[in-house]
Amino acid sequence: MSARQSKSLGVALIGSGFMGKCHAMAWNNVATVFGGERPRLEVFCDASQDAADRFAGPFGFARATSDWRAAVSDENVDVVSITTPNGLHREMAEAALKAGKHVWLEKPMALTLADAEAMAELASNCPDQVTLLGYNYLRSPAFQAAKAMLDAGEIGTLHSFRGVYDEDYSADPNLPWSWRMTHEGGGLGALGDLGCHLVSQMTTLMGPVQELTAMTHVAVPHRNSPDGPKAVENEDSAMALIRFASGAQGSFATSRVARGRKCRLQWEIHGSDGTLVFDQENLNELWVHRAGDDGFTRHLTGPDQPDFAAFCPAPGHNIGFNEQKVIEARDLVRAIEGGEAAKPGFAAGLTIERIIHAMATSQGRPVTIG
């Protein structure tokens, strides 16, 4: 670590959308919550100078630019947060790595599996630089508590996993066509936007996937645009049957056209001695059944669960989406400072990409995950 990094971490952020604002809040709050040196928010970048100027101040950044290449090569920057549309991920992440920067990249990792493979290879050749992908749902205290229970063998041998991630942001057939619905601009559809989150949780809890059989579906094949109807190229939904390397089985489903669902990232795990149930729409609850119990016990998040106490000393006061991102920022900072590796980095992210791309191409045929 350089002398500059040992004093404080210089940050560049690219993008002002939903996740750009989330990254800005995380960088502004990570030292407040977890201690340590406050990061220096050096450069904010957006597609136009007007937008960059408009957001830099509220986001807490010292300077604004519309030149992302200048942002990632800035000598005062140590780590680059990338929250841009999917089609820009590879170019920006690779440029940052080549400039000697650490990279915090929002999911999905890339448009194509080939892009993700190239990014992972480059990252492997930059051993002094940390990469982290934005799978913030892994930081939920309830999720971390579930992982600890599984690691301790509290529900015995794992038999099966059932998971869904459904939202309804594309359910309206009158929703206009957009770049998100193309392979060139968006890559995969529901799998790349939602399903990859479920895969990140599934593999963290259940271990490697050995084989899967999947099918995808386009619910609204064409959508209106100013130039007339245009084809929807990527999937609105996907379902898969899974065999894990452990021998356990699983089912997986994701949809961006599920009416009434807002963030239904829900799973349950059946073991020989019990069952765990979690739903992101109720992210402060973990439901546990143990052999011999009449039913399920509700475990409410509190300071006894990982990272909760850093935000609040009182149980039941709950944390939310953005707090998960602050924990993710903490993990990134610790890794840069030489602590435990940040997860998932680009190598682990490539595994997630292999799984979702296998689901996209299976079309009812079994696919072995190498």
User: pLDDT tens, 14-55?
Assistant: 999 999 999 999 999 999 999 999 999 999 999 999 999 999
Domain-ending residue, one of 102, 136, 170: 136
> Which residue's entry shows tokens 């630089």?
129
Q: Is residue 226 part of a domain?
A: yes
- Same structural domain for residues 50 and 22? yes
Residue 341 or 198, more confident: 198
Backbone angles phi, psi at 104, to 5 degrees: -115, 110
At residue 51, the pLDDT reads 97
Q: What pairs with residue 243 in β-bridges?
A: 211, 249
- Same structural domain for residues 97 and 211? no
Within a 10 A sphere around the Cβ of 87, how many other Cβ atoms?
Answer: 17
Taking only the tens place, the pLDDT of each residue in 282-307 is 999 999 999 999 999 999 999 999 99
- Same structural domain for residues 331 and 212? yes
- Same structural domain for residues 263 and 289? yes
Q: If you average pLDDT over residues 243-270, what whole number do you get?
A: 98
At residue 1, the pLDDT reads 38
List the domain range (segments joined by +) for residue 322: 137-337+344-368
Q: Which residues contact 354 (CB under 8 A, 6 or more apart)?
A: 113, 369, 370
Q: What is the CATH number of the domain that holds 312?
A: 3.30.360.10
At residue 3, the pLDDT reads 34
Q: If you average pLDDT over residues 332-349, what whole number do you get?
A: 95
- Same structural domain for residues 167 and 253? yes
- Same structural domain for residues 241 and 265? yes
- Same structural domain for residues 104 and 75? yes
At residue 339, the pLDDT reads 85
Asked whether 104 and 125 are in contact (CB, 8 A), the reply is no
Q: Is residue 5 part of a domain?
A: no
- Same structural domain for residues 130 and 271? no
At residue 156, the pLDDT reads 98
Asked whether 161 and 241 are in contact (CB, 8 A), the reply is no
Q: Is residue 20 part of a domain?
A: yes
What pTM was estimated for this model as a whole? 0.95
For residue 128, count CB atoms less than 10 angstroms from its CB and return exposed for 0-12, middle for 13-18, buried for 19 or more.
exposed
DSSP 336-369: HTTSSPPSS-HHHHHHHHHHHHHHHHHTTSEEE-
Q: If you average pLDDT over residues 195-208, what whole number do you get?
A: 98
Q: Is residue 51 part of a domain?
A: yes
Residue 2 — pLDDT band, cuts 50, 70, 90?
Answer: very low
At residue 12, the pLDDT reads 98
Q: Is residue 236 part of a domain?
A: yes
Q: Is the pLDDT of residue 370 over 90?
A: no
- Same structural domain for residues 83 and 180? no
At residue 7, the pLDDT reads 72
Asked whether 358 and 212 are in contact (CB, 8 A), the reply is yes
Domain-ending residue, one of 120, 136, 152: 136
Q: What is the CATH number of the domain that holds 46?
A: 3.40.50.720
Q: Is residue 4 part of a domain?
A: no
Domain-ending residue, one of 136, 156, 190: 136
Number of domains in the chain: 2
Taking only the tens place, the pLDDT of each residue in 223-249 is 999 999 999 999 999 999 999 999 999
Q: If you average pLDDT over residues 162-183, what whole number do you get?
A: 96
At residue 243, the pLDDT reads 98
Q: Is the pLDDT of residue 215 over 70?
A: yes
Amino acid, single-letter form, for residue 144: Q
**172/169 Cα distance (integer angstroms):** 8
Q: Which strand ranges, in their side-by-side order, compose the sheet holding 131-133? A: 63-65, 40-45, 10-14, 79-82, 102-105, 131-133
What percentage of the chain exceeds 70 in pLDDT?
Answer: 98
Q: Mean pLDDT in the chain?
A: 96
What percentage of the chain exceeds 90 in pLDDT?
Answer: 96
- Same structural domain for residues 348 and 286? yes
Q: Is residue 30 part of a domain?
A: yes
Q: What pairs with residue 103 in β-bridges?
A: 80, 131
Q: Which residues contact 67 (CB under 8 A, 6 or more apart)?
A: 45
Taking only the tens place, the pLDDT of each residue in 51-106 is 999 999 999 999 999 999 999 999 999 999 999 999 999 999 999 999 999 999 99
Residue 340 — pLDDT band, cuts 50, 70, 90?
Answer: confident
Taking only the tens place, the pLDDT of each residue in 116-146 is 999 999 999 999 999 999 999 999 999 999 9
- Same structural domain for residues 179 and 280? yes
- Same structural domain for residues 126 and 145? no
Q: Is residue 160 part of a domain?
A: yes
